[in-house]
Chain A
Amino acid sequence: MSIIDEVEALRRIPYFATMDSAKLKLLAFASHRLQLPLGGVLCREGEPGDAAYILLEGEAEVVVKTDDGHDVVVAKVPKNAFIGEIAVLRNVPRTATVVAASPITALKVGKDAFFQLLRDVPQFALEVMRELAERLEDTTDRLREAQGRLDAGK
């Protein structure tokens, strides 16, 4: 898989579809490509958040350890999603572990490159914001749902 294929894969992600081809190449060139087998660990809870990932192929699961030591899958990461950018943005350790739910191909964007891209490529910054907004909306929905269930249980 060459950088051209990566650019193609990135372009299939709706948000990047309109981005300049040279900028997409830069994004691809500035990142590492990772390939993980099923069950491979993309990043671990508690590790420093030194990179964000873009899932090009396959699916991943977000796993959190509960207080009693069990692993609980809290979310699924679909193909073409952004992941791990919160730890980078906030400069905190990873809050969850991400495991490959199928063989996956991902682009790993290092912390420095990530920030540099945010600064230089407004579309990229916009994509990241959109992704975060979407996730916030999702979380709010689920919170409302949970609140509703709690209220109903009263």
Chain B
Amino acid sequence: MERRLFTYIWRHSLREQLRIIALIALSLPFYFLSLNLPKLIVNGPIQGDGFADGAARTYYAVALPDWLGGVRLFDGLDLDRISALFALSFTFLGLVCINGLFKYRINVLKGRMGERLLRRLRYELVDRVLRFYPARLRRTKPAEVASMVKDEVEPLGGFVGEAFATPAYLGGQALTAVIFIMLQNPLLGLVAVGIVSIQAFLIPYLRKPILALGRQRQLTARELSGRVGEIVDAAADIQANDTSNWERADITRRLGRIYDIRFEIYRRKFFVKFLNNFLAQVTPFFFYAVGGYYAIMGELSIGQLVAVIAAYKDLPGPVKELLDWYLDKQDAQIKYEQVVEQFAAEKLIAEDMHAPVDPGPLKDGIEVREATVADDTGARLLDGVSFTIPAAAHVALAGPNGGGKEAAAALIARQASARSGAVVVDGQPIDTLPQAVTGRRIAYVGQDAYLFGVSLKDNLLYGLRNQPRRDAMREGPAAARAEARHAEDRQAGNAPFDAEADWIDYSLLGCDDVRGLDACLMRFVALAGLENDVFRFGLQGRFDPDDAPVVAERLLQARALFKSREMSGDVDIVEPFDAQHYNNQASIGENLLFGVAVGPAYAPDNLARNRTVSHLLDETGLTRPLFELGRGVAETMVEIFRGLPADHPFFAQFSFIAAADLPYFEQLLARLTSGQPPSAEQRARVLGLAFDYSESRHRLGLLDDEMRGRLLSARHLFNARLPAHERPKIAFYDADDYNEAASVEDNILFGRIVYGAPDAQMRIEQILQGVIAELGLKDDIARIGLGFHAGAAGKRLTPSQRQRLALARALVKNPDILVVNGALAVLDPQAQADILGRVAGARAGRGLVWTLSPGQDSAAFDRVISFEHGRIAGAA
């Protein structure tokens, strides 16, 4: 990348910059005309100069200047005073419009140019990150890079538009004024030039330390975002180590440093400002003193002096703005350098390595010759080893942990590079092959494979998104819009690929199209032993019946079948939702709503503050009894939990009231006992407790049959009265309808599990499994499970699920050689062995490389290579 910002701007926006400068030049004559016109209007028609005795004057005559021969091009119009007034006024109006339009057009062009360049710069930065070698990436803090790409380059976009146009424009203006003064009186001209020169040299000199401080500010701010990112990532470990105060101290120290820098900048900046203003004001002093002296002495006419002072008024503006521009330039340059420096890696992966090509299958396999691999400290992980991995064999890499098998596995998958020696794939050195070969024909699963914050399905398909396979289907205006967007992408030098195209290569997967995709993916999921988890996710997941009405229909059948099975047992384990009955297992809030909240308005936590609900309670006279009920709950909670320490696990498990809120309720209860009325907020808090209450679960004896009846009528009233615009916020329970806001399992159970029923969970599980198998719903539920969102970096999954998913993702790629490098380390040995058996079976006749833990059975492999102390200890 260009080291200097100006070179970068020049290189990527030369044509646009020239266009804007030309437009500015074109606009200047109109600008000067509009400045001149008021004088003409005032002196001419208004004051009547040259209109003596109703005579007409000639306006709009156009002639070439004398030095071009003074030829008259247009003789002009003879106008009387009134006509002249209106003609000149409308001309003025016209010029105002023209100037405005010029300004608008110039600003639009500047803005577009700036945004394009900003976009290009950001893209190039990310592109460089994609081309960093792993060793470089290990030294990179993600949050810092993000802050650079997002925030630090942002001001550059604004500067790009000003980079050339501003000095051209303001410089011209200032120069005109200086020349004008010089013509009036050279001495005063020299004074003006002198002071401006002092400004021009002194101010930047004083600004220098400010710029240096600005550089520090940028660095410290970047480090701060790096640290904040680290704190978020390490949140669990910080709590586990009780080091939150250490983190607080560290952040405090950093903020203190940033404060010092910023305050220093502030102080210096205002001093410079003061000096600048002072110098601007001191010039008139010279004009008055020196100019006045000459005027008194008769060497300068009063008119000239006034004209000089008037001309000087126009000078500080442009000069000041020019100085500002210069400082902006310095600032932008520093920002640019600081960012580019960070992204200037000593060695980048060559661009053609990332070319989208379709490599053929590997024929021979991988050969490692005398390869040495070292870690960052120079310690040798592999020391001159040679071995071959045939394309269709199952090879185990064995030996003690850390003995070299891990480095060997990483080496053949291009995850590590050899310091000396060579890795040869099908006769070609691995470093010279496009990533398409190693990335598609070889799959690698390491111990901490990264999972993306998308659905399980998208994670599984990730390895197939190598290049666009089929263009996105667009028609009419959408197609035109896309075309325009791509043209703009190219203008900014962005990637030529369409993210909305279909990128998935189904041929690799072994299924032909989207329809068979989920079943196909589930095969790999099963190989990795993740199918039960996916199934569980499916049961807990939500799904939109409009997506697949047939599935919704079947799930409703499952509901009916489940009910009949459940009824045949001797004990009720599920109390069904019934519009005509109070559900004793559900909370009061759920009973009132008789549905699932969609969005926050009717969510359990907000119910007590919801206005529609409050109105309903007031109308049905339920506010009072519910408040008393909530008060009863609060009293019991305060009594039971008062003595417990705040971090006691019972709070999280059993209490309605968080430990931190206990004193609040204690005070509130005392207030109520003394007869004071509760505030609106307090009322809502107490009602909130009531809404959470379920008699069968909490057993505080606060709910009787009469109250149940009243709540039931309130439910009916609520449903009948709910205005149409509020309806979409609740998915009501309906025995004949799929409830899209509830989970699949809840839809099948369609009720609440009975508290205290022995073995309820186990029996429900049994019936559920039976019903699902009988109705053939397994695939559908698995499909919903595949839609489960893995969370940021896959954090919603357990470590074991993450490792299994990463393995499944590699299997989905259907590579020629699959390299599994300690990728199942968190699983117990039996589970590892089971998966190995299944994967080996599925990959019969294809390449497989597996690092074995000491003691793991290697019988199933064609070859075993043992590593010890970075050397091969034996091969069989």
A residues with a Cβ closer than 8 A to B are: 1-6, 22, 25-26, 28-30, 32-37, 40-42, 112-113, 116, 120
Contacts and interface: CB of A to CB of B under 8 A. Distances in A.
Contacts of A35: 756-757
B420 interface: no
Interface stretch (B16-24, B473-481, B645-653): B645-653
Given A30-B653, A40-B571, A42-B758, 16 more contacts: A2-B700, A2-B701, A3-B636, A3-B698, A4-B700, A5-B701, A6-B699, A25-B639, A26-B641, A29-B654, A33-B755, A35-B756, A40-B758, A112-B649, A116-B650, A120-B648
B653 A1 contact: no
Interface in B625-670: 636, 639-644, 648-650, 653-654
B857 interface: no
14 contacts: A1-B699, A2-B701, A3-B636, A3-B700, A4-B700, A25-B636, A29-B640, A32-B756, A33-B755, A34-B756, A34-B757, A35-B756, A112-B653, A116-B648
B759 interface: yes
A22 B644 contact: no
B570 interface: yes
The 8 residue pairs across chains A and B that have the minimum distance between CB atoms:
A2-B701, A3-B699, A26-B640, A33-B756, A2-B699, A25-B640, A34-B756, A22-B639
Nearest to B649: A116
A112 B649 CA distance: 9
A92 B723 CA distance: 57
Interface centre among A5, A34, A37, A112 (most CB of B within 10 A): A34
Interface in B735-792: 755-759
Contacts of A37: 570-571
B755 to A, nearest CB: 7
A5 B701 CA distance: 9
A30 B699 contact: no
Interface in B679-704: 695, 698-702
Which interface class (under 10, 10 to 19, 20 to 34, 35 or more) fits B?
20 to 34
A2 B644 CA distance: 23
Nearest to A32: B756
B701 A36 contact: no
B755 A32 contact: yes
A40 B760 CA distance: 12
B756 A22 contact: no
A90 B272 CA distance: 77
Given A2-B700, A2-B701, A30 B650 contact: yes
Contacts of A120: 644, 648
B759 to A, nearest CB: 7
A119 to B, nearest CB: 10
Nearest to B641: A26
A136 B683 CA distance: 54
Contact of A33 (B639, B640, B641, B699): B699
Contacts of A26: 640-641, 650
Contacts of A30: 650, 653-654
B225 to A, nearest CB: 40
Nearest to B638: A22
Nearest to B695: A2
A90 B388 CA distance: 52
Interface string B456-496: 00000000000000000000000000000000000000000
A34 B571 CA distance: 12
Contacts of B759: 41
A137 B531 CA distance: 51
Given A26-B650, A116-B649, A41 B758 contact: yes
Nearest to A40: B758
A42 B702 CA distance: 28
Contacts of B701: 2-5
Contacts of B757: 34-35
A2 B695 CA distance: 8
Contacts of B649: 112, 116
A95 B158 CA distance: 76
A22 B702 CA distance: 17
Contacts of A6: 699
B60 to A, nearest CB: 96
Contact of A113 (B640, B641, B643, B650): B650
B758 A113 contact: no
Contacts of A33: 699, 755-756
A36 B699 contact: no
A112 B654 CA distance: 12
